[in-house]
Structure 1
Amino acid sequence: MPIYVQMARCCWIICFLVFSSLFRAYEASPGDSDQLYRACLSQCQKTSCVGARCFSCCNSASDGSPLDASWYNIKHLYFWWNHWDCQSNCRYHCMLYRENERAELGLEPVKYHGKWLSRRQYGFQEPISVAISALNLVMHFHGWRSFSNLIYYSLPLKPDKTPFYDYAGLFNIYGLLAMNAWFWSAAFHFREMDLTEKLEFSSFVALLGYSIILAIIRSFSLRTDAARVMVAAPIVAFATTHILFLCNYKMDYEWNTKVCIGMGIAQVASWSIWCGATEHPCRWKLRMVVVGGIFGVVVKMLDFPPYQGLVNSEVVLNASNIPLTYMWWNFIKDDAEFRTVNLLKKVR
């Protein structure tokens, strides 16, 4: 049996096992199921106070403007930068209050609404995550720009001015999706709102789904439109259904985490199988990316609480993506050169 047929079978079996394991019941996080936390939320929405701390965001007129309009006008910029709506403030301060109580009792931290509590700093929801997301965005922009310059200006082009590299368009789309995802990641970690939450989650699901499609197409050298559509259709359908579920039914963090881990495993599995079978001269770079991807999946699955309320497993995962992104785009550029040279030899 040809090696690529064996690879295809292994890849689809792994993908099936990964995704079928995701469909099981999920429950609310321990923190938001806590009766004391719920009582704190209810009291906060009535009094705008959590313990000795009070704020004015829940005391608004019927049109949503603050009752203390003069204070709002005088300190408009400061209010905008540090303003949080009633629900966000009540959730954050009730979580903080309950976690302090738990720490005094010697209890371990728990999740609230599917997430660990992260402490606000300088008006940022999660300042370290914002910085890391911005760095990932910069790395993808640099990689995408250098890739585009390579294939359109450094390497030979066909008579119709299109690249010889078969996957140029696919990787250009990948670069745009990656930059979009990291932009909304930075926006979400800067200020968690319903809009930024939906855009961040949807963008990463779309990126992960597209990454699986790209991994399969490149690994098995699929060049015909029919073969690419057959691969893409079920994955696009799955990713779209999941995005619609999150945006229109329930924004469930833990369920989304399971889905994203499954999609990450499927992508890593596809590249891993190809790494073991290919004789590509730059396969060592891809192997480093695969090892880094496995590390990221393991860290995400460990899901440990934030150290000092700032650094959790997601922060470590996103930070590890920065050097991997550099290595990944280097491999893509090497692959473009390798494929172009081989195709030119055949043409001549």
Structure 2
Amino acid sequence: MNCSTPLGLQEFQVKQSLFEYLFRWSCPDECAYECMWKTVDHMQENGQPVVQFHGKWPFARFLGIQEPASTFFSIFNFLANYLFGYKQLRRHLRYGIHPLYSMWIIFCLISMNAWIWSTIFHTRDKPLTETLDYIAAISLVFAQFVCCIIRVGYRTRFMPIAQIASLLVFSFFLYHAYYLLFIDMDFGYNMTVNILVGLLNVICWILWAIYNYGLGKTYVWRCILSVLLTMVFVAFELADFPPIAWTIDAHSIWHFSTIFLPVLWYRFVVDDSRYLLLHTR
């Protein structure tokens, strides 16, 4: 296919499906896709290992979707956060009655936003969709950490400190997002921040939950299990391998594993809000 000639462009337009048109596959995109698979076929015919292209494994396109498994699993994650998160919070908790109601609703909306951008990015991998996916993903890590800080300080004399710390964390996130979007999409820097904030988040929640479990708040076991499972599932990201059937890779397995976490997490949130309401001073 020659995208530089009118005949080549006409050939591309005739062959292009409706879904590929809707997802904005251009002639150069199609050319790169076909060349990638010709290279993969050549490697396999000569017994050579398949390599990544521009840092990414080759995936079989489906209905114009670039990474089908990760896309569908991202949609399922969005639905899980909506059905077991947002809907359950609205069903069991009430604004102005249950403590920290607004905080958890906002956290749930941030979670759903993250999975929306994950769906968009895996549907069409473009520089802008990639950057917005990274920002949305790390916003979820920052949000959960801020929620932990607020929850730890809630109804204690340390609440003013928790509020200041939350503001500082939020300010750093805004700087981080601005840097990635307008200055440099530095993957190494973003990963470092993600790991550091993620570890602080995990340590903070586990220590708080263990302490409160010792005080008789047995419902926090869901918090502990949810956080620990998240850490275990992250290991899938480290197991990098060529996609099975050119569809299922380590990243998509990671997305699949997180579908079930909202059931645990938001049940903990509901139980904790009910506990705070019951013990309102």
Q: What TM-score comes out, normalization by structure 2 length?
A: 0.83
Q: What is the distance in 1 between the residues matched to 2:102 and 2:23? A: 42
**C-alpha contact 1:181 1:203 (8 A) present in aligned 2:** yes
- Pairing 1:39-50 to 2, within 5 Å after superposition: none
- The equivalent position to 2:140 in structure 1, one of 197, 204, 207, is 207
Stretches of structure 1 lacking an aligned partner (at least 5 in a row): 1-53, 153-160
User: Structure 1 residues 230 and 314, CA, compared in 2 at 3 Å: closer, same or farther?
Assistant: same
Instruction: Report the CA distance shift for 1:79/1:127 in structure 2 as closer, same or farther (over 3 A).
Output: closer
Contact 1:164 1:340 in 2 (8 A): yes
Query: 2:260 matched to 1:323?
Result: yes
1:232 paired residue number: 166
Do 2:149 and 2:166's aligned partners in 1 also have CA atoms closer than 8 Å?
no
Deviations 1:123-175 (A, max 9, x none): 111111111111111111112121122121xxxxxxxx71241x211111101
Partner of 1:20: none
Q: Indicate conservation of the 8 Å contact 2:81/2:262, yes or no.
A: yes
Q: Distance in 2 between matches of 1:115 and 1:222?
A: 48
State the 1:255 CA deviation: 4.8
Correspondence for 2:87: 145
In the other structure, the counterpart of 2:177 is: 243
8 Å contact from structure 1 (residues 114, 254) kept in 2: no
Q: Distance in 1 between matches of 2:160 and 2:6?
A: 57
Q: 1:134 aligns with which of 42, 60, 75?
A: 75
Is the 2:239–2:250 Cα contact (8 Å) retained in structure 1? Answer: yes
| 1:253-264 aligned within 5 A | 253=187, 255-264=189-198
Residue 162 of structure 1 pairs with residue 96 of structure 2: yes
Shift in Å, 1:104: 4.2
Q: Which entry has the higher C-alpha Rg, 1 or 2?
A: 1
> Is 1:308–2:245 an aligned residue pair?
yes
Shift of 1:198: 2.8
Inter-CA distance 222–256: structure 2 relative to 1 (3 Å threshold): farther
Unaligned runs of 5+ in 2: none
Per the normalisation by structure 1, the TM-score is 0.68
Matched letter for residue 107 of structure 2: Y
How many angstroms apart in 2 are the aligned matches of 1:252 and 1:118?
24
- Change in Cα spacing, 1:172 to 1:250, as seen in structure 2 (3 Å) is same
Aligned to 2:104: 171
* Cα displacement string for residues 36-83 of structure 1 (whole angstroms, at most 9, x for unaligned residues): xxxxxxxxxxxxxxxxxx264x6579xxxx9539x8599784661464
Q: How does 1:72-151 map to 2 (within 5 A)?
A: 72=13, 77=18, 80-81=21-22, 83-142=24-83, 143-151=85-93
Q: How many residues align?
A: 276
Look up the SS of the partner of 1:68 in the other structure: helix
How far has the Cα of 1:291 moved from its partner?
A: 2.1
